[in-house]
Amino acid sequence: MTGSMRFAGAARRASNKDHLSFSERVGECLGIVVISLLVLFFRENQMQNTGFFTSNFGLTESFLFYGSALFGVVTGAARSLVGRRNAVRPLEIFGELLWAFASYWLLLVFPFDVAHFPDLMPGVLRFPFSWLTNDIARLLLLIGVIAGLLQAIYTTWLFLAVRRIQQGKHY
């Protein structure tokens, strides 16, 4: 099977699965709750000055860190409310590019001391996160840059291909 045929098949499958079921909409809402809890965890770290955020964590870094995470709430809510995937893909593309840029900026500035990441966690949860280091966090941010850019490219292609199918044009 050629790459073109695989992409055409992926576009047809995505077009056929464009409408979200009730359980998928509920899943989007659960995703919103998880993202919100993570944002609250990091905000609490910042408010309690645990040391996770260093003095390099200024307004720009705060906007990018929290904004890129909270934009996931926007896309999840939009998918849940609209009930269609392709209609929300332009928002997803923006969010993926925001994620890639935020990861890049945070990688450059690196305003974290990851040794303090588990400080607010209950004792039993601290040990599993004790292996995290600043180098691992930098690697994760680099992966975030690459993954965000690749995902934005794929989502753009998928949006255009599914829209073309939905308009009755063959892919």
| Contact indicator for 36, 73 with CB cutoff of 8 Å | yes
Candidate from 4-8, 73-77, 121-125 with smallest mean pLDDT: 4-8
- Residue 1 reports pLDDT greater than 60: no
Angle between helices 59-82 and 89-109 (to 10 degrees): 160
- Band (pLDDT 50/70/90 cuts) for residue 4 is low
φ, ψ (nearest 5 deg) of residue 53: -90, 125
SS3 for 110? coil
Would you state the pLDDT for residue 5? Answer: 67
pTM of the model: 0.90
